[in-house]
Amino acid sequence: MLLWVVGWTLISLQIFHYFNSSAVDKRRDSLASMCDERARMLQDQFNVSMNHLQALAILVNTFHHSQSPSAITQATFARYAERTAFERPLTSGVAYAVRVTHAERDQFERQQGWSIKKMYSSPNSQGPGDAAVAEIRGTADEYAPVIFAQDAYKNVISFDMLSGADDRENIIRARESGKGVLTAPFQLLNGRLGVILTYSVYKSEPPANARPQERIQAAVGYLGGIFDIEALVDKLLHQLAGKQSIMVNVYDTTNEKPISMYGSNDTGSGMYHNSTLNFGDPSRRHEMHCRFMQKPQLPWLAITSSLGIFVIFLLIGYIIYATVHRIAKVEDDYEHMMDLKKRAEAADVAKSQFLATVSHEIRTPMNGVLGMLQMLMDTDLDTTQQDYVRTAQASGKALVSLINEVLDQAKIESGKLELDAVPFDVRLVCDEILSLFCGKAQEKGLELAVYVSDQVPQTLIGDPNRMRQIITNLMGNSIKFTERGHIYLTVHVIEEVMSSLDVETEIQNTYNTLSGYEVAKRRHSWQSFRLSNMDIHSSELSFAPIMPETIRLIISVEDTGVGIPLEAQSRIFTPFMQVGPSIARIHGGTGIGLSISKCLVHLMKGEIGFVSKHHVGSTFSFTAVLTRARPNANVSKSPGFKGVTALVVDHRPVRAKVTKYHLQRLGVKTELTADVSQVIPKMNCASLVTRLVLVDKETWLKESHSMPQLLSKLRSKDQSDPPKLFLLENPTNSIKSSSNISREHNLNVIMKPLRASMLEASLRRALGGVDKAHVKNGLVGNSALGSLLHKRQIIVVDDNAVNLKVAAGALKKYGAEVICADSGKKAIALLKPPHSFDACFMDIQMPEMDGFEATKRIRMMERELNERIERGEAPPECANIRRWRTPILAMTADVIQATYEHCLKCEMDGYVSKPFEGEQLYREVTRFFQNHDHVQ
């Protein structure tokens, strides 16, 4: 940067010097032009005067020497010279001297009547004095007395011009050269400097090549003109007064020391110009010196140009310097960021390892605990013991759920959380979630309900587990913070909701809800989604389908809980943040459920929001982008209920709509009524026979005075097949009261929350069908798993004795034959092909040799055997096998994405996290054996 500044400083100085030199040269050229112009004008005017003097000399020769007697007298000469003075603007006077030899002197003096005088009477005389007192000219070879003169110079008449040294020299040079000759500058009578121009008058004009002696002999007189140089130059400058003024000096430079003829003697300093003056006398030299009277102005162009260029390039230099400095800083920052990135990656690896280790260390004993509890529940226990075991198992599952939430948060932060894309039924997922919270809702006396719009397809493609996780988080919070009222789960298509917003009004009854309590309306949270996207291009709207097969759902969970205070609503989705410390003490929890849900919703290309009123309730809503699945022709909607008609009696429209939704899922045609008195008319007007009448318990109690009469009409003897009566029991009512009503009036009781499987079982039981709902939980799945694992030879590898026992017990429960191995080396020895095992459950973290290394070596042995099979060198045991591969299922407490990816990289066939349950085991084992090549 310093070299840049110094370099451009020098360049700027050179630029300044260039522009300044240009300005000086221009000023010098201007001065030379003006000076040359004045010198030329002065010469021209002087030449004019010279020409007129020559003409006067010819006139004198013609009328004086050529005629006898002379035609010119002094008076005539003076008068003529005065009248023709305008033709000689530079002369102040003229005089004529005649050539007289010594022999002719006496006669000449007698003719003129005066004696020839000496020009200078004393050595100190500056010029001729008075002729009356002047000294008589002494004897000389020849004389040149003045005989004619202009009136202003009549005093020079009779003076001998040859008596002065300078005049004598001029006269001699004039008659020898035949040209005008100038004297040296001298002071005139008026005090100014002047010169005399002398011309020789010849009796007859000598030829051009005449010799000097011939010219001397031919000379008869001398005409002199006096020039006032100062007046001459002043007049010239006055004519040029309109132009720029300059200082003019005129010098006679004939001698070594110049004689100033015009101007001050102060030559000054600075720029000047010399112009040569040629007055026609080659023996004398004259010059005109010119200077500007004013000092030159500052060279602003040079200053501004050089300074501007210097500033511009200084800025450019600064920009380059700043850029280089910035690049260097960016490079340093990049190196620093790369270092931080390496540290972060190392920290991420360390965190992943830490999570894997902690997860494994916690899940390993939890696997033993839950597995042993499950095995304990399969033994003969009394009611108290079973309650204790269930409580312990529920606590263990809660701990595993907490670990899963923390691990999910870690996956989200590392960006390694991915979604599955499998077909699923969102209605079944909602039923499962209701079943999960059914017990807690009944404990608190809350009413649970789910409603899925008819526009939602039967089968969708997405991640059902993550969808279940989001809804479970929202439902869990609602259960946790709600003490009375209801929790209502709804699923709609986004276009259906948006169109309903345009027609909904605020006039609707605030208490027209599931339980009659005031709620924070769902439409406000839906509307906030809509308004937040109004300014976005239609192709970017979160509600606008991207592709024809894409569908967008909006799911809401409505509760009548404590609500969220306004000051806490801004941090509701912040990880590990809760509404307040009192809430955390009363209800517990980690505070990351909503944060995880928000991240999952974003992965589903949706958004999540809520509306809440303190002490009224909250409604959480989120959107999700899913894909329509191709319709399956094998799926049927409960054909056993086709043609069945039901009448639902409920004074709450929302609750009646929920009941109708569940009945229609079973294929039951449903009518609604809120008035008990309209039951009989509606049944009579129906095109089909009404076989089912469902009355909500709250409506029954409200219309208790009318219910006996209604029952008697429904059970009249006129009807051969009276409709079946059902009482929809609200968990807010006591079970004892419900039992009394059902026994007294012989009613079938259906307990809420309504679910398709439970409702189907109740209706089939009432209509005389098979009650599939009383099949022991998990029997179907367990029997299918049992048929899949029956007589299978399975090896379980785990270094933990408890986990080994739990895994072996779980597999033996389904009929598998299990061999246990407590190390990777033993597993390699047992699985050396050919062998009789159908599958292997391999723990990952084991001492000496972990599951990854053991799997690699097993696959290496299998590749060697397969190569032998291809060459036809296979042993007899492999005669009917084209390719040998033993399914190996990873069995570990690690549930992070890195572990799963490592399992696939090591050629494992599946992944089961500990502790595992029957459903998960069935799902993995089904895929396990479907892809098994060597099992015949």
Buried b (16+ CB within 10 A) or exposed e, 437-447: bbeebbeeebb
Whole-Å CA distances, 522 to 109, 563, 565:
151, 14, 18
Report the candidate in 264, 268, 284 with the shortest Cα–Cα distance to residue 276. Answer: 284
- For residues 659 and 652, what is the distance between their CA atoms, to the nearest angstrom? 11
Mean pLDDT, range 31-48, rounded to an integer: 86
Q: Which of 143-152, 337-346, 770-779 has the lowest mean pLDDT?
A: 770-779
Buried b (16+ CB within 10 A) or exposed e, 676-692: beebeeebeeeeeebbb
pLDDT of 508 over the 60 cut: no
- For residues 515 and 839, what is the distance between their CA atoms, to the nearest angstrom? 53
| Res. 555 pLDDT band, cuts 50 70 90 | very high
Whole-Å CA distances, 314 to 17, 228, 302, 664:
19, 62, 18, 83
pLDDT of 598 over the 70 cut: yes
How high is the pLDDT of residue 615? 86
pLDDT of 780 over the 50 cut: no
Backbone phi, psi, residue 933, to 5°: -85, -35
* Residue 24 CB burial class (10 angstroms; 0-12, 13-18, ≥19): middle
CB distance 161 to 117 below 8 Å: no
- DSSP states of 437-489 as a string? HHHHHHHHT-EEEEEE-TTS-S-EEE-HHHHHHHHHHHHHHHHHH--SSEEEE
Rg of the Cα atoms in the chain: 66
CA atoms within a 13 Å half-sphere pointing along the CA-CB vector of 128: 25
pLDDT of 236 over the 80 cut: no
Whole-Å CA distances, 841 to 142, 327, 804, 886, 921:
159, 56, 10, 11, 11
Task: Give the angle subtended at the CA of 736 by the CAs of 735 and 739, to the nearest 5°.
Answer: 85
DSSP H/E element including 391: helix 383-414
Q: Of all residues in the chain, what percent carry a pLDDT higher than 70?
A: 80
- For residues 218 and 204, what is the distance between their CA atoms, to the nearest angstrom? 7
Question: Which pairing describes strands 91-98 and 219-228: parallel, antiparallel, or unpaired?
Answer: antiparallel
How high is the pLDDT of residue 789? 76
Longest C-alpha distance within the chain, in Å?
Answer: 200
CB distance 658 to 449 below 8 Å: yes
| Res. 356 pLDDT band, cuts 50 70 90 | low
How high is the pLDDT of residue 673? 85
The DSSP 8-state label assigned to residue 612 in this structure reads E
Report the candidate in 427, 363, 452 with the shortest Cα–Cα distance to residue 400. Answer: 363
> Is 290 strand, coil or helix?
strand
- For residues 162 and 171, what is the distance between their CA atoms, to the nearest angstrom? 7
How high is the pLDDT of residue 450? 94
Q: Which two tokens stand for residue 631?
A: 């319709």
Report the candidate in 283, 280, 150, 173 with the shortest Cα–Cα distance to residue 222. Answer: 173
Backbone phi, psi, residue 383, to 5°: -60, -45
Q: Look-up: residue for tokens 């005669």?
A: 879
How does the average pLDDT of the chain come out, rounded? Answer: 79
pLDDT of 53 over the 70 cut: yes
Q: Which residues contact 610 (CB under 8 A, 6 or more apart)?
A: 525, 564, 569, 572, 618, 619, 620, 621
Q: Look-up: residue for tokens 């709620």?
A: 519
pLDDT of 245 over the 80 cut: no
- For residues 874 and 862, what is the distance between their CA atoms, to the nearest angstrom? 12
- For residues 445 and 439, what is the distance between their CA atoms, to the nearest angstrom? 10
Which domains are delineated in the chain? 28-120+139-244 (3.30.450.350), 300-403 (1.10.287), 418-500+512-529+548-578+590-631 (3.30.565.10), 659-767 (3.40.50.2300), 793-931 (3.40.50.2300)
457 prior amide bond cis, ω within 30: no
- DSSP states of 548-580 as a string? TTEEEEEEEEEE-S----GGGGGGTTSTT--S-
- Own/partner contacts of 32-37, CB < 8 Å, gap of 24 or more, are 32/273, 32/275, 34/243, 34/244, 34/246, 34/290, 35/246, 35/248, 35/273, 35/274, 35/275, 35/288, 35/289, 35/290, 36/273, 36/275, 37/240
CA atoms within a 13 Å half-sphere pointing along the CA-CB vector of 626: 31
| Res. 230 pLDDT band, cuts 50 70 90 | confident
CB distance 207 to 183 below 8 Å: no
Greatest mean pLDDT range, 373-382, 492-501, 836-845: 836-845
- For residues 612 and 566, what is the distance between their CA atoms, to the nearest angstrom? 8
Whole-Å CA distances, 805 to 167, 673, 810:
154, 58, 9
Greatest mean pLDDT range, 314-318, 755-759, 845-849: 314-318
| Res. 60 pLDDT band, cuts 50 70 90 | confident
Greatest mean pLDDT range, 114-128, 717-731, 878-892: 878-892
How high is the pLDDT of residue 542? 45
| Type of residue numbered 736 | K
| Type of residue numbered 60 | V
Report the candidate in 578, 515, 885, 548 with the shortest Cα–Cα distance to residue 731. Answer: 515
Q: Which two tokens stand for residue 579?
A: 């509404």
Q: Look-up: residue for tokens 């007049």?
A: 235
pLDDT of 473 over the 70 cut: yes
Report the candidate in 638, 643, 747 with the shortest Cα–Cα distance to residue 689. Answer: 643
Q: Where are the beta strands (DSSP E) in 739-860?
A: 748-751, 793-797, 817-821, 839-843
> Is 366 strand, coil or helix?
helix
Does pTM top 0.75 for this prediction?
no
| Res. 492 pLDDT band, cuts 50 70 90 | very high
Task: Give the angle subtended at the CA of 760 by the CAs of 759 and 766, to the nearest 5°.
Answer: 90
| Res. 1 pLDDT band, cuts 50 70 90 | confident
Within 10 angstroms of residue 912's Cβ, the number of other Cβ atoms is: 19
- Evaluate the CA torsion angle 789, 793, 799, 800 in order and state its sign: positive
- For residues 735 and 743, what is the distance between their CA atoms, to the nearest angstrom? 12
Mean pLDDT, range 11-26, rounded to an integer: 88
CB distance 262 to 193 below 8 Å: yes
Measure the N-to-C terminal CA separation of the chain; round to a whole number of Å: 82
How high is the pLDDT of residue 487? 93
pLDDT of 606 over the 80 cut: yes
Q: Look-up: residue for tokens 């509306």?
A: 611
| Res. 260 pLDDT band, cuts 50 70 90 | confident
pLDDT of 635 over the 70 cut: no
